[in-house]
Amino acid sequence: MIDNTDKKLISILREDGRTSLSEIGKALGMSHVAVSKRLDKLIKTDMLKISAGINSEAMDTKVLFLGLETESMEIAENIKKKYMNCPRVLMFAPVTGSYNLFAMMIAEDTWSLESILGTCSMRTEPGIRKSETWFGNAPIIPKFLPLNLAPEQTSSSKAPCKMDCEACKRYAIDKCVGCPNTSSYKGTLWATPSPPKKKRAKSKS
């Protein structure tokens, strides 16, 4: 459990993750050493993670909300595992009501969102009874989103979800920029694939 001091510490970092331990200590009335110990404990117990957030409105992003009803919670869990490394997925949440799984995804343009929805969408996975989607612009709250702009990229065109960008018809006609995890990505929101390093020629002795 966290106490009131922990909550105040987290609130300070929420406003500015660069706040120094000394500044936090002054605000909380304790030494920077005591702040450091509390911070380490919060991080080690997986209660807190300090990370950067991106102003998605300034990046002119588009958002897709997806509600899914799966045949079982096991299928919902398998979907989460399959797409957990997708850089476009910002949130997975189990819910009750008409659906049992809710997802939030992001893209740089509407065409790419349509591709996510129709071609490489989790709603086409086996075991999905029904789904519903909502398109929108960048959220008002929160203003900053935990978007990984430089995900680990493979040297192939296959995405973590096993879809192949080069085999996609929408990708071929430039109606999708591809998966940011692949060497086929040609968008501008995520970091573009780095060119392969040239091997240095061996000098002749």
User: Taking a C-beta distance cutoff of 8 angstroms, is the pair 171, 178 a contact?
Assistant: yes
Q: Is the pLDDT of residue 100 over 90?
A: yes
Predicted local distance difference test score (pLDDT) of residue 204: 57
Q: Is the pLDDT of residue 196 over 60?
A: no
Q: Residue 203 — pLDDT band, cuts 50, 70, 90? A: low
Q: Residue 121 — pLDDT band, cuts 50, 70, 90? A: confident
Q: Is the pLDDT of residue 200 over 70?
A: no
Mean pLDDT of 88-109: 93
Predicted local distance difference test score (pLDDT) of residue 115: 87
201 vs 57, residue with greater confidence = 57
**What's the pLDDT tens digit per position in 46-57?**
999 999 999 999
Predicted local distance difference test score (pLDDT) of residue 26: 97
Residue/partner pairs of 150-154 with CB below 8 Å, 24 or more apart: 150/190, 150/191, 151/85, 151/87, 151/180, 151/181, 151/190, 151/191, 152/181, 153/180, 153/181, 153/182, 153/183, 153/185, 153/191, 153/193, 153/194, 154/181, 154/182, 154/183
The β-bridge partners of 64 are 105, 135
Mean pLDDT of 124-137: 92
Predicted local distance difference test score (pLDDT) of residue 183: 92
Longest dimension (CA), the chain: 74
Q: Where are the domains of the chain?
A: 4-44, 54-145
Q: Is the pLDDT of residue 198 over 80?
A: no
Predicted local distance difference test score (pLDDT) of residue 113: 87
54-145 classified as CATH 3.90.1010.10: no
Q: Is the pLDDT of residue 5 over 90?
A: yes
| Distance, CA of 149 to CA of 141 (rounded, Å) | 20
Domain boundaries 4-44, CATH class: mainly alpha
